Structure formats: structure tokens, C-alpha cells
Amino acid sequence: MKVFHTVSGLRDDLNKERQQGLRVGFVPTMGNLHDGHLALIKQARQSNDVVVCSIFVNALQFGLNEDWDKYPRTYQNDCDKLRAAGCDYLFHPDDIEMYPNGLDTQSRVICPTMTDVLCGASRPGHFEGVTTVVSKLFNIVQPDEAIFGIKDYQQLAVIRRMVQDLCMPVLISSAPIHRETDGLAMSSRNRYITAEERPLVTVLKDSLEWMAGEIQSGSRDFSGLEEAAKARIIAAGFKIDYVTACNSKTLDLAAHDDMEITVLGAMFTDAARLIDNLSITL
């Protein structure tokens, strides 16, 4: 695996690959890699000749009082995992390489839809940071395909819209949620969960599955289902961020005649914010 810390170095090498007609797949990450990330690498390998991964903890997508400074950075371990997974290139820039003019004057990429609800409502500016850094990474890597996990469902929807709106020649592919043996969605932030909380955190997944089952059985009382699911989570000892049923494509609140619905939820443990989702077709 070749490791690059500069834009110019990575571009020069990837240009040689493209001149040979090779297809480039890309997996952007913030590091602290787990099996979910490695599944994205393996999926990229299946449909591309060259696989690129980036590791960059993007300060622009972290809000005030969020965990940018303590976000786990495990670079050497990540490199070992990427090599074992068959990654060809790692792009690991520092803040100056990604934002040479500083964050305050950095040009921004803003998606005006789907970004002020759900995670966007509780994390103002988060998706502006995501779309800005992803657009920069796409310009740097120039991939044919980029793969994202469905766990971050809203992020995936926003990136797809950005790519469509800006006519970016990148195929956006998704990968299923990778889960722990008990069903908890894998996340770099799971390490923040305490031992006492750990047996209880699957209440988020269980509550969303219950909602989806009720909807599939014919219920259209979305607000009632949301309140009942929230009550389950609160009873388990956790704080609610949101639980809702949405149109899978627009992320608008689910309507009675919607045929594709995604139920999404986010909750807080003592030190972690966990998200999950489940999509159904009626």
C-alpha cells in the first residue's frame, strides 16, 4: 500500500493508473477503522482496479462542544488493517494540506436540502463540513466510484444530491450496515459506551425494527409510532435526539402514500451519540 500525505503526490501516482485505463474506487474515512470500514474497502475492490482510502479527521464537520480533539486517532493500526484488506493507496493529509488557507476562509459546498433535519438539526453546520470535505476529496482523488455505509443514511443521501447537483462524474455506492454480534451498528464512537450501558444500547435498533414492522403491517400513525419508540429508548435510560419515519428519497416526513420509508433514530449515551436506520419498501 502506498501512503501519501500531499495532494500532488497522490494525484501524480493516480494519474499514472488512469493512463493505463484502470478504474479507481474510493473510501473516505476519519480513521479508527473497524470491520465496517474494511467491508467498504472490500466492496470497492470488487468493482475497481485501484482502491484508495483517505483518513482525515475533518474539523469542519465538528460543532462546538463535539469530540474533534478526542476523536480516536489510530493511524498505525489503521494502516495494518488497510494493507490486510487490500487497499492500494492511503491518503493521510494534515489540516494544512486540506485547508491551506485556514478554515475561516475556506470555500464551502452547501446542500440546501436534507441538511437541516435529523442529524443536521442537532449538529448545525455538520453537513456543510461533510459536503465541503467530500467535494475536496473527490477533486483530489477523482474516483470513478465512492462507497459509503448506509449507517450514515442522511450523509449518503446528501452526498448523492451534491454529486447530482454539481454534475460530479462519481458513482456513489452504498454498503449495508455492519453490526456487532448483538446487532449494534459498528461505529468508531462505540468505544465511548460504558460497560453498564453496553447491554442496553441495542434498544435503538430494536425500537426502529418495531416501528418498521408496525408500518409494514399497515399502521400509518407515524407520530404515534415515533412516540412509542421514544418511550422504549427513554425507559432503557437513554436520551433521545430523534426517532422518525421519513420518505427514503427526500427525507421528508413519511406520508400515508409513501411506498419507500426509512425509520431513523439517534440517541445519547453518557458519552456517545449513536445512530441507526432501517429502510422498508411497501
Task: Identify whether the C-beta of residue 182 lies closer than 8 Å to the C-beta of residue 202.
Answer: yes
Interior/surface letters 32-51, b for 16+ CB within 10 angstroms, e for the rest: bbbebbbbbbbbbbeebebb
Confirm whether 92 is a catalytic residue. no
DSSP annotation of 244 reads E
Q: Which of 5, 34, 37, 92 is catalytic?
A: 37
CB distance 265 to 207 below 8 Å: yes
> Closest by alpha carbon to 219, among 227, 252, 234?
227
**d(C-alpha 192, C-alpha 136), whole Å:** 30
Please list, in sequence order, all residues whose beta carbon lies within 8 angstroms of the beta carbon of residue 26, skipping any fewer than 6 positions away: 44, 51, 52, 53, 54, 137, 138, 141, 143, 145, 146, 147, 170
User: To which residue does cell 399497515 refer?
Assistant: 218
List 151's β-bridge partners, or say none: none
Cα within 13 Å of Cα(39), Cβ side: 15
Q: Which of 85, 275, 250 is nearest to 185 (CA)?
A: 275
Please list the active-site residues: 37
